[in-house]
Structure 1
Amino acid sequence: MTRILVIGAAGNTGRSITQGLTAEGFTVRTATREPRPPVAAAEHVRFDWADPSTHGAALEGVDRMYALAPALVDDPSTLMLPVLEQGLAGGVRRVVLLSASIVPEEGPGLGQVHHFLRTRAPEWSVLQPSWFMQNFAAPGHTHGASLRRDGTLVTATGHGRVGFVDAEDIAAVGVRALADAKPHDTAHVITGPQALSHDDLAAILSRVSGRSIRHVHATPEEATRRHQDSGMPEAYARFLTMLDMRIRDGAEDRVTDTVQRVTGRPARDFESFARARLDVWR
């Protein structure tokens, strides 16, 4: 019997991946830092990348696993690689990693995890999505909070464009990477169907909500300070600002057909996402 470990099962992608795998009849073990399961599942364990005492029970009897990095950690590879090595030594054959389109293989942090899986795991996939649409709806995210509070998006992205993607589409690709009999053994760059600037997003949200929503073009220093004011550590705030600057310089201006090709259905566009969450924008 295939047992699939889903680390981060309470997150935007992990929850939907758990539900999708369960619906297909797989035995799923959810793993979060909370002792209670985030979704209805046959098994659940408490798991913390930084707590080795939680690793053995999570990995025992697992054939495949979905790996979500610890949050707000400058270099997650230092915590993740020992756990992945333990899992592979104990019988895990397939690992699916959630990384990001802007992080190259062998780059810092998740790039190191990506390289490890490609060279060491018997079966592997790396999901490299663009920026989540959900960031603009989540009250705990800097953008979601500012949209609710005063109808602004504050970034240092300039006029750079991004193929924003719905987390549900990322999860759908993840389900196939974990469930398909044949391993994908590849990196999936996942985007939505359009490359949009933050000015474009503000215009769409204004039209959909009936509110006046605007994109504030911040300097890198202003963007970093805003992230810190929201409670982020300085190093991570600077990292996010660096990503803004890469968007500004065109690093995320692309669209892929991955969702359609892997799942058989088209990726969701941002306006459809926004219209489904009118209560948030209004």
Structure 2
Amino acid sequence: MYTEPSTRILLTGGQGKTSSRIAQLLISQDYSLRSAGRSPSKMNEAQADHVLFDWYDDSTHDTALHNISAIYLVAPTDIHPEEVMIPFIRRALDESIRRFVLLSSASVSEHGPIFGPVHQYLQEHAPEWAVLRPSYFMQNFTEGGHGHTLRQQGQFFTSTGDGKVGFVDAEDISAVGFHALTDKAPHNREHIITGPQSLSYAEVAALIHKLTGLTVEHLSITEEQLVQALTAAGVPVPYAAFLAELDHRIHVEGSEDQVTDTVLRITGREPRSLEDFIQDNRNWFQPSLIS
């Protein structure tokens, strides 16, 4: 392994879908870790050190970086996260921290917005780096995102039309991230991470119905309607417009219609299918839970 268990790995992103899962993988392998976020940690002190961390408050950065060997970077919800992330990375480099793993998106290349400038900076300046570029999370149907409208109305909406997505399990993303943080040889590359199959949202709705009996509908809406819905849910307007643009690209360009071997190549096991994910979460999809 790259890092000795006595040296801490810093996980930004607090209790996020991937940070929390990477934390459990590190704990299971006896690595020392520090979680960093604006909310208290759900892990006890014996499992992980936790510090208050805010990307926009650099007074919280030094404590987070103390005695750290590698960093998992989760961007804040901001149209220009590089304005706070790159100074933080510079500070980490000054502390002789060598390894960085960034959570990005399959839809965003190093030349794209949001995560792109940070991706490019790591590629140019970090001695050891990896960028995780996952497709859309399967957990969006259970832990947030579409899960809310599924519970409330038995439906979810996008402006992706009949565009397809290689939905991927957060467990698989996290397993790739774990290896990127701990493998002896640095990856020094991006990883486009998908599940084993590309599906449209209408096909997902049909699959949920087939496996659970729950009637689920995919509503196809316009980009403008999506921006309105996201901003009503508290997403800042510029970021909502960015997310709507991603849906547009899925619809028009097929930007997420891809399947890669990344999970198998990095972890040695096949990625979880959406069918298996739904089967394993059948209780969540029971009609009695939909109000």
Asked if 1:241 corresponds to 2:247, the answer is: no
Q: In structure 2, which of residues 45, 61, 69 is the aligned counterpart of residue 55 of structure 1?
A: 61
C-alpha distance in 2 between matches for 1:38 and 1:83? 25
Query: Which position in structure 1 is the counterpart of 2:189?
Result: 186
Q: How does 1:95-114 map to 2 (within 5 A)?
A: 95-114=100-119
Residues 74 and 102 of structure 2 are in contact (CA less than 8 Å); yes or no, is this contact kept in structure 1?
yes
Asked if 1:231 corresponds to 2:234, the answer is: yes
Query: Which position in structure 2 is the counterpart of 1:273?
Result: 277
Q: Which amino acid is 2:234 matched to? A: G
Query: Which position in structure 2 is the counterpart of 1:161?
Result: 164
C-alpha distance in 2 between matches for 1:199 and 1:103? 24
Residues 35 and 51 of structure 2 are in contact (CA less than 8 Å); yes or no, is this contact kept in structure 1?
yes
Deviations 1:160-197 (A, max 9, x none): 00100000000000000111111111100000000000
Q: CA deviation at 1:227?
A: 1.5
Q: Which amino acid is 2:104 matched to? A: S
Residues 10 and 39 of structure 1 are in contact (CA less than 8 Å); yes or no, is this contact kept in structure 2?
no
Q: Which amino acid is 2:24 matched to? A: Q
Q: Which amino acid is 1:168 matched to? A: E
Residues 78 and 114 of structure 2 are in contact (CA less than 8 Å); yes or no, is this contact kept in structure 1?
no
Residues 190 and 259 of structure 1 are in contact (CA less than 8 Å); yes or no, is this contact kept in structure 2?
yes
Evaluate the alpha carbon distance shift between residue 33 and residue 191 of structure 1 in structure 2; reply closer, same or farther with a 3 A threshold: same
Q: In structure 2, which of residues 201, 218, 223 is the aligned counterpart of residue 220 of structure 1?
A: 223
Q: Which amino acid is 2:106 matched to? A: S
State the percentage of identical aligned residues.
45
Q: In structure 2, which of residues 73, 93, 98 is the aligned counterpart of residue 93 of structure 1?
A: 98
Deviations 1:220-271 (A, max 9, x none): 1222222222222222221111110011120111000000110011100101
Q: CA deviation at 1:106?
A: 2.6
C-alpha distance in 2 between matches for 1:256 and 1:187? 12
Q: CA deviation at 1:157?
A: 0.3
Evaluate the alpha carbon distance shift between residue 229 and residue 9 of structure 1 in structure 2; reply closer, same or farther with a 3 A threshold: closer
Mark the runs of 5 or more structure 2 residues left unpaired by the alignment. Answer: 1-5, 287-291
Q: TM-score, normalised by structure 1?
A: 0.95
Residues 30 and 45 of structure 1 are in contact (CA less than 8 Å); yes or no, is this contact kept in structure 2?
yes
Residues 9 and 18 of structure 1 are in contact (CA less than 8 Å); yes or no, is this contact kept in structure 2?
no
SS of aligned partner of 2:228: helix
Q: TM-score, normalised by structure 2?
A: 0.92
Q: Which amino acid is 1:260 matched to? A: L
C-alpha distance in 2 between matches for 1:62 and 1:207? 47
SS of aligned partner of 1:144: helix
Q: How does 1:68-87 map to 2 (within 5 A)?
A: 68-70=74-76, 72-87=77-92
Query: Which position in structure 1 is the counterpart of 2:38?
Result: 33
Q: CA deviation at 1:118?
A: 0.7
Residues 104 and 131 of structure 2 are in contact (CA less than 8 Å); yes or no, is this contact kept in structure 1?
yes
SS of aligned partner of 2:283: helix
C-alpha distance in 2 between matches for 1:51 and 1:281? 40
Q: Which amino acid is 1:233 matched to? A: P
C-alpha distance in 1 between matches for 2:75 and 2:167? 20
C-alpha distance in 2 between matches for 1:231 and 1:134? 20
Deviations 1:58-115 (A, max 9, x none): 0011111111111x31111111111011001111110000000111113222100001
Evaluate the alpha carbon distance shift between residue 101 and residue 216 of structure 1 in structure 2; reply closer, same or farther with a 3 A threshold: same
C-alpha distance in 2 between matches for 1:155 and 1:43? 39
Residues 13 and 74 of structure 2 are in contact (CA less than 8 Å); yes or no, is this contact kept in structure 1?
yes
C-alpha distance in 1 between matches for 2:173 and 2:109? 18
C-alpha distance in 2 between matches for 1:79 and 1:102? 22
SS of aligned partner of 1:63: strand
Asked if 1:211 corresponds to 2:217, the answer is: no
Residues 36 and 53 of structure 2 are in contact (CA less than 8 Å); yes or no, is this contact kept in structure 1?
yes
Q: In structure 2, which of residues 173, 177, 186 is the aligned counterpart of residue 174 of structure 1?
A: 177
